Structure 1
Amino acid sequence: MKSLVVLALVAGLLAAPAPAPAATPPARTAPPAQTAERASTARTIHLGGVAVTLHSGTTQVVTVNRSSGHLARVSLYQRVDGRWRRLTTTTDGRIGYGGLVQGSKRRQGTGTTPLGTYALPSTFGTHRQRSDWDLSHRLIRSGDFWVQDNASDYYNRYRNQRDGGFRWWLKGHPESSERLTDYGKQYEYAIVTTFNQSQVRHRGAGIFVHVNGKGATAGCVSAPLWFLTSLFARLDPERRPVVAIGR
């Protein structure tokens, strides 16, 4: 009988479930909000009250901060010894008569200035390139246009009428292009921006930083003559300059 009892006890022990292992604590990770904040900080800074999306290698930024109506404060910042320094500024900047709009929502002919950050790759104007101008430059010549013809492969491009490819003869038409020689004062000094570089039709063409006219612009950013001459002498392609337009 004793042997039967011992066998029953052994069988019961073998059938009993093993104790569950202790739970392993979850790995510690950084809070998602903090991770997102660090990523955002790495891409965006604020200068002169304007959010700037830095391009790779950018150490020069022109900020455009609307003050009231079509007026804006326009400033040039440069990164020196690890810090951003304001080199020059004007309170007599201008924006479009239609106000400001998100770049992706802009429509041609609305007189709006696109919000956002855009590269400043080149210049053009009524003067030949000088030794202290480092950006690529074009001298305006007879027949030069900035194409705003949505049917053209050269939409939002610099083009001479002799080269064809756009309806340069359109006048007073929603898709008429800008004859650059017609704006000798504003385009004495003009800096090209990369707004709508991908040529999205009807989004708009020819958004520049140029010399002030009489009032608001048709969508460009403008500033006094002295400010533009200062930009021409200071902007350096190796610093990957951009313009950041904010509210």
Structure 2
Amino acid sequence: MRRSLVTAAALLALAGSLGAGPGGADRPPLPDRLADTGGGSQLITAEAPDTGSTTGTVTWWERRGGSWTEAGSAPARFGAGGLAEGATREQGTSTTPTGLYDLPYAFGIEDAPAGTTYPYREVTEDSWWCQDNDSRAYNRWVEPRPAHCRAAEAEHLVSYGTQYARALVIGFNYDRPVRGRGAGIFLHVNGRGATAGCVSVPADAMAEILAWVDPARAPHIAVGTSSGPTAITRY
């Protein structure tokens, strides 16, 4: 009888030690495992299992009292082409760029959710996002669309009534745009399936994120995979 009790205790101890490993309950929250969080006290993470994935999880975090805590989470969708390293991504591949990015401003066809403090730009019939590599307005909102930004190489934002009901601009290739790298990468409301390179979440999650995100807390978004060269913890 005593031998059985000792064996049972040993098995319980082993199970406890396994639970305390990398996947255990005492594992630090994801922001603490990132190489960088952008220096603010709010962070959104968008994590996919691997570069071939088109689905994953978006989680929003806040830092209070020196600790990161989860503020919310939702299922996410990524590009139809999966994910690709942001520094070498190519335009037209329908891949979501991995990396750590700021969030310049929000926009939408619908009004901003109640409580929104983030800069929020209203979409009108004249609102376009220029993706024309030959235009000096490359990877910029233009209103109205200038002649040097061809309509065939731009998104007429109001035409995406579901996806751009509400959105956040992701600062990928934004400050100093590299032609051919990609333009118009957003966190927006889900459409019918995988995206053309953006990150998307359900409409209620997008509304919650916009009401939560605070410009005074310098929010960023980290996009990556669970492991490998594009692991979210590298950024």
TM-score bracket relative to the smaller structure: 0.7 to 0.9
Residue of structure 1 in register with 2:133 after alignment = 150
Residue of structure 1 in register with 2:180 after alignment = 202
The structure with more radius of gyration? 1
Residue of structure 2 in register with 1:193 after alignment = 170
The secondary structure found in structure 1 opposite 2:56 is: strand
Deviations 1:127-174 (A, max 9, x none): 234561111111100021100001111100000235x1533432xxxx
The secondary structure found in structure 1 opposite 2:49 is: strand
The secondary structure found in structure 2 opposite 1:105 is: coil
1:229 aligns with 2:218: no
1:119 aligns with 2:96: no
- The alpha-carbon distance between structure 1 residues 49 and 79, as it changes in their structure 2 partners (threshold 3 A), is closer
- The alpha-carbon distance between structure 1 residues 107 and 52, as it changes in their structure 2 partners (threshold 3 A), is same
1:62 aligns with 2:44: yes
Return the alpha-carbon distance in structure 1 between the equivalents of residues 162 and 143 of structure 2: 20
Q: Structure 1 length normalisation: TM-score?
A: 0.74
Superposition pairs for residues 171-186 of structure 1, below 5 Å? Answer: 176-186=153-163
Decide which of 72, 75, 88 is 1:88's aligned counterpart: 72
Return the alpha-carbon distance in structure 1 between the equivalents of residues 29 and 84 of structure 2: 19
Return the alpha-carbon distance in structure 1 between the equivalents of residues 208 and 30 of structure 2: 19
Shift of 1:218: 0.4
Deviations 1:197-222 (A, max 9, x none): 11100100000000011111000000
Return the alpha-carbon distance in structure 2 between the equivalents of residues 200 and 46 of structure 1: 34
Q: Structure 2 length normalisation: TM-score?
A: 0.78
Residue of structure 2 in register with 1:246 after alignment = 224
Deviations 1:81-131 (A, max 9, x none): 1110001111x2000011111111111100011111001121000123456
Return the alpha-carbon distance in structure 2 between the equivalents of residues 96 and 49 of structure 1: 26
- The alpha-carbon distance between structure 1 residues 185 and 51, as it changes in their structure 2 partners (threshold 3 A), is same
Shift of 1:195: 0.4
The secondary structure found in structure 2 opposite 1:104 is: coil
Greater mean deviation of Cα atoms: 121-130 or 58-67: 121-130
Identity level (%)? 38
Aligned residues: 195
1:75 aligns with 2:52: no
- The alpha-carbon distance between structure 1 residues 100 and 49, as it changes in their structure 2 partners (threshold 3 A), is farther
Residue of structure 1 in register with 2:148 after alignment = 166
Residue of structure 1 in register with 2:193 after alignment = 215
Q: CA RMSD in A?
A: 1.9
Return the alpha-carbon distance in structure 2 between the equivalents of residues 168 and 218 of structure 1: 19
- Runs (4 or more) in structure 1 with deviation over 6 Å come to none
